[in-house]
Amino acid sequence: MDFIKKPREIEDRSMELIAPHLAPYHLSEVETKIYSRIIHAAGDVEYAPLIHLHPQAVAAAQQALRAGASIYTDVEMVRTGINKRKLASFGGEVHCLIADPDVAAFAKASGITRSMAAMRRFGPALDGSIVAIGNAPTALYEVLRLVEEEGMRPACIVGIPVGFVGAADSKEQLRRNPFVPYITVEGTKGGSPIAAAVVNALMYDLDDTRF
């Protein structure tokens, strides 16, 4: 069996194969990295026309990362997918409360999802942070409520929940919010590797020493 076995070569070749699919979008270098890593994570070039970057999102997110901002996420798979060693090199860490017993008890008592209860529990810690949602539309709805009703101001929301119940609508609401810059994907597609890929692309653009 003859195939490429070196990690750097695999990634470089993958980015080369993705590049022609991005030609129509006239992207900056960092935007190209974000689009490429999303497509790389999904194995799906049809993501390209669905990606939406708020004009201030990259600058706001990278400024926060450089200053050591933490990342708040809805599910453990996003935490697992984020390069935590790289994040720690800037001073940040990833927080996820989905498995917290108090959050689970509160969710059950309130008849809401655990990821929704988890975002509520983060509360004011969300100010200045990066929120990364890769699974639960309910978590994104709750973050938008915290922004709109309680004045929380994350630096950037990477909002890429997945599925057929609420994902498309919650991402549409994210794009209509006038308060916080966002990175999102329209429609039903998304998921934890996609949200983690965006966060990693933002970090690798600041400091690409991984191999």
Q: Can you give the binding site for a second copy, defined by CB under 8 A?
A: 1, 3-7, 10, 13-14, 17-18, 40-44, 76-77, 79-81, 111-114, 116, 137-138, 141, 144-145, 162-167, 169-170, 173, 187-193
Q: Which CB sits closer to a second copy, 40 or 54? A: 40
Q: For residue 44, what are the β-bridge partners?
A: none
9 CB-contact burial (10 Å; exposed 0-12 / middle 13-18 / buried 19+): exposed
State the residue for tokens 């989905």: 98
**DSSP code per residue over 123-163:** GGGGTTSEEEESS-HHHHHHHHHHHHHH----SEEEE---S
How wide is the angle at C-alpha 160 spanned by C-alphas 145 and 62, nearest 5°? Answer: 90
CB of 202 to a second copy, least distance (A): 19
Q: Which CB sits closer to a second copy, 86 or 189? A: 189
CB of 63 to a second copy, least distance (A): 28
List 21, 26, 40, 52, catalytic entry: 40
Say how many C-beta atoms besides its own lie within 10 A of residue 109's C-beta: 9
Dmax (CA) for the chain in angstroms is 58
Rounded Cα distance, 136 and 160, in Å: 9
CB of 193 to a second copy, least distance (A): 5
Q: Which CB sits closer to a second copy, 44 or 207? A: 44
CB of 203 to a second copy, least distance (A): 17
Rounded Cα distance, 61 and 110, in Å: 33
Q: Which CB sits closer to a second copy, 122 or 141? A: 141
Per the annotation, the verdict on 52 as an active-site residue is no
Catalogue the active-site residues: 40
